[in-house]
Amino acid sequence: MKLFDLHCDTIFRAIKENKDINNGDLCVNFEKIKKFEEYIGCFAIWIPDSIRKDDAFNLFNELIDRLNLEINKHLKFCKNIKIIISVEGGAVLGGDLSKIKILKSKGVKILTLTWNGKCEIGDGIGVKNSKGLTDFGIQVIKELEKNNIIIDLSHASKKLFYDVCELATKPFIATHSNSKSVCLHKRNLLDDQFMLIKQKNGIVGINFCNDFLSNSGNANIEDVFEHIEKFLSFSGKDNICIGSDFDGADTLKEISNVSEIGKLYEFLLKKNYSENLVNKIFFNNAKRFFDNFS
């Protein structure tokens, strides 16, 4: 089985808990992902809302250095594994547009524009009376596209989301967001938001967080299926991916770590999904998107 996971928080958790990235307590570790026929994972460098300006950029540098150290230590001869670096939080820029080129030079491929709070780019989904892109944020969108860094709208406020839709000339994505029609959590996507991502040829990663899957907060694999079904109802077969949020969220018990994700693969086959469709969701849609993004 192949897996392309658009979002995990493993490197932040490893540093926070002072663990080697191969520690068995982590939801994603290199021993677990070595078992996949092919694995591509977007490892997020998370910038918490409590950290800003120089502290945010210093945290980015600390995390990316540790991630590269772990990759060189454990994956030197693993041809079936590829790690993509994302940054979760535009606060990493500290209001300095020139840092985008630095992010690119360090291999960053995705920037999540906000976390839940406010940063120099604009407002996250947790901001009351939220606004859209700031003047600096408008410049950021243009500069990210110029540098071929993918815009991620998970965590974005509604206004910021729609501002990006109007401004962006390239496809954008939501790395770890579900359907608000199925679960009312504010972090999930409205139907028209999914459609706008689809119309721009973007992709959306299904998130395994309990609170984003079920209104009860006690999700099961059937709830994951319901979110996939909703997005498929909008002809989204080429746009649905996996964005697990492993090591960054309280995930459903049936899929508590990456080694258990095969349960969803088999579940979808039992729901009469074709193997071709399941492979699209698990790997091919995201692989195609990244191969074609320029």
For residue 124, give the nearest of 46, 200, 179 by alpha carbon. 46
Arithmetic mean of pLDDT, 213-219: 95
Stretch 133-151: mean pLDDT, rounded?
98
Q: Are 248 and 9 in contact (CB under 8 A)?
A: yes
The token duo for 189 is: 């996507």
Report the pLDDT averaged over residues 265-269: 98
Mean per-residue pLDDT for 209-234? 97
pLDDT of residue 129: 95
User: What tokens were used for 182?
Assistant: 């199925």
Domains in the chain: boundaries: 2-292
- Given this model, what pLDDT does residue 89 score? 98
pLDDT at 194: 98
- CA–CA separation, 203 vs 46, rounded Å? 21
Q: What angle do CA 186, 189, 192 make, to 5 degrees?
A: 130
Query: What's the confidence (pLDDT) of residue 84?
Result: 98
CA distance 256 to 262: 12
pLDDT band at 227 (very low <50, low <70, confident <90, very high): very high
Percent of the chain with pLDDT over 90: 97
C-beta atoms surrounding 203 within 10 Å: 26
The closest of 239, 232, 229 to 200, measured between CA atoms, is 239
Q: What angle do CA 182, 188, 191 make, to 5 degrees?
A: 65
State the pLDDT at residue 294: 72
pLDDT of residue 44: 98
Class of domain 2-292: alpha beta
pLDDT of 163 over the 90 cut: yes
Give the per-residue pLDDT at 222.
98
pLDDT score of 111: 99
| The pLDDT of residue 76 | 84
153 pLDDT higher than 80: yes
The yes-or-no verdict on residue 280 having pLDDT over 90 is yes
pLDDT at 156 over 90: yes
* pLDDT classification of 237: cutoffs 50, 70, 90: very high
Q: Do residues 100 and 138 lie in contact, with contact meaning Cβ atoms separated by under 8 Å?
A: no
Quick: pLDDT tens for 97-125.
999 999 999 999 999 999 999 999 999 99
